Amino acid sequence: MDAILLQILNGLDKGGAYALIALGLTIIFGTLGVVNFAHGALFMLGAFVAVSVKALLSLDKVTLDPTQTTAWGAPMEIRVPYIEAWLGDFGATLLEYSVPLSILVAIPFMLLIGIAMERGLIRFFYKRPHAEQILVTFGLAIVIQEIIKSMYGANPIPQPAPEVAKGMIDFGRMIGLDAGGVVYPAWRLIYFLFSALIIALVFAFLQFTTFGMVVRAGMADRETVGLLGIDIDRKFTIVFGIAAVVAGLAGVMYTPILSPDYHMGMDFLVLSFVVVVVGGMGSLGGAVAAGFLLGIVQSFASMNEVKNIIPGIDQVIIYLIAMIVLLVRPRGLMGRKGVMES
């Protein structure tokens, strides 16, 4: 029982990341009709916003200590972050909380990146075939990757969670089970709650605001909305920016779980597309449901009891499920009629 609960929790935090990326992909596809292969790169860019914020907060004053030398004979450098020198303990606290603080920077930054991407490149490919959209966005993803690699190197860069969120939470005891049976890292539970909050905010935005109503109308019938005198293109540009913000925030908060490197976006991209396809192209609810579902299934498939029966199942289970879903329900779990069927 404990093992099963642990894998469910594991699937939920993993699924949270899949759902957030897939949600952004679906929003872009549903509104603009663009298959955006650069979406994983946006997730990675978000993670590197956290890296950059920490690097900025860690900018240090370097003094040379002539009494000590390095192994190659140069004077030893003594480094003290400016922020600690100026603000003392408060500066140290800011450094410790650099990951959650990065959210404040990531929102405007990712919004700008999203808008610039859409206006500068993606809009020229709206009426082009999906194959061309895939090629150009994939190329863009590689360019972003290489820029990040040239700036930060290829090695992962650790981003610790704040001290208060580093420990474990006895989840089992919280739900009335024996103490110590289901103990789970606090930050991963925070990540799951964070992803649930972002998903709820996006849904609320689309459901309960006038902007959201116009966007939903545009998703259903772009031409008619345009004929009503609404500048739907402008609205969709902002939607692209919002999708970029969602992917970026998913990346920022994921950094204590996975030390960011330039390639992390690609690792999530393929899985996220499978999530979108399983959920149903253009279905926001489908993307979220499939994200969590596939996260949990992937966790269960990695259990030794399962792997002993079917070796290697953990490496193919997601694709196997995608095949089965597409055979039984060709439009995905919650797919809409007419999307990508022309």
Partner 1 sequence: MSKNNLTRRGVLKGTAAAGVTLTAPTIFTKSWAAGYRNEPKGDTVTLGFNVPQTGAYADEGADELRAYELAVEHINGEGDGGMLQTFSSKALEGKGVNGKKVVFVTGDTQTKSDAARASAKRMIEKDGAVMITGGSSSGVAIAVQGLCQDAGVIFMAGLTHSNDTTGKDRRANGFRHFFNTEMSGAALGPVLKNAFGNERTAYHLTADYTWGWSQEGSIKKYTEKLGWKTSAAVRTPLGAGDFSQYITPVLNSGADVLVLNHYGRDMVNSLTQAVQFGLRDKSVNGKDFAIVVPLYSRLMAQGAGENVKGIFGSTNWHWSLQDEGSKAFVKSFGTKYGFPPSQAAHTTYCQALLYADAAQRAGTFMPSEVGKALEGFKFDGLGNGPTEYRAGDHQCFKDVLVVKGKENPSSKFDVLEVVEVTPRAQVEYPDTMLGGELGPYNNGA
Of 93 and 302, which CB lies nearer to partner 1 in the complex structure?
302
Q: Is 3 in the site for partner 1 (CB under 8 A)?
A: yes
Residue 83 CB, nearest approach to partner 1 (Å): 18
Q: Is 177 in the site for partner 1 (CB under 8 A)?
A: no
Q: Is 102 in the site for partner 1 (CB under 8 A)?
A: no
Q: Is 10 in the site for partner 1 (CB under 8 A)?
A: yes
- Virtual CA dihedral for 187, 191, 192, 197, nearest 10 degrees? 140
CB atoms within 10 A of CB 134: 15
Q: Is 164 in the site for partner 1 (CB under 8 A)?
A: no
Residue of 143, 151, 168, 200 that binds partner 1 (CB under 8 A): 168
CB-based burial, 156-172: b 16+ in 10 Å, e otherwise: ebebebbeebeeebebb
Report 197-216 residues binding partner 1 (CB under 8 A): none
Residue of 66, 73, 129, 229 that binds partner 1 (CB under 8 A): 73
Residue of 62, 67, 74, 309 that binds partner 1 (CB under 8 A): 74
Residue of 147, 196, 257, 313 that binds partner 1 (CB under 8 A): 257
Of 240 and 273, which CB lies nearer to partner 1 in the complex structure?
273
302 Cα distance to chain centroid: 22
Task: Match 């959201």 to its residue by tokens.
Answer: 212
Q: Is 72 in the site for partner 1 (CB under 8 A)?
A: yes
The residues, ordered by sequence, that sit 6+ positions from 46 with a Cβ below 8 Å of its Cβ are 106, 110, 247, 248, 249, 250, 251, 252
Of 39 and 331, which CB lies nearer to partner 1 in the complex structure?
39
Q: Is 82 exposed, middle or buried (0-12, 13-18, 19+ CB in 10 A)?
A: middle
Q: Is 6 in the site for partner 1 (CB under 8 A)?
A: yes
**Could you give the CA distance from residue 227 to residue 287 in angstroms, rounded to a whole number?**
30
Integer CA distances (angstroms), 237 to 179, 228, 257, in order: 50, 18, 31
Q: Is 84 in the site for partner 1 (CB under 8 A)?
A: no
Q: Is 93 in the site for partner 1 (CB under 8 A)?
A: no
Both structure tokens of 304: 């030794």
Report 271-330 residues binding partner 1 (CB under 8 A): 298-299, 302-304, 307, 312, 314-315
Residue type, 289: A
Binding region for partner 1 (CB under 8 A) out of 40-48, 147-155, 198-206, 273-281:
147-155
Integer CA distances (angstroms), 296 to 15, 228, 290, in order: 7, 44, 10
Q: Is 157 in the site for partner 1 (CB under 8 A)?
A: yes
Are 255 and 101 spatial neighbours (Cβ–Cβ below 8 Å)?
A: no
Helix runs in 182-263, H state only = 186-208, 210-220, 222-227, 232-254
Which residues contribute to the site for partner 1 (CB under 8 A)? 2-3, 6-7, 10-11, 13-14, 70-74, 149, 153-158, 160, 166-168, 181, 183, 185, 187-188, 256-259, 261, 263-264, 267-268, 298-299, 302-304, 307, 312, 314-315
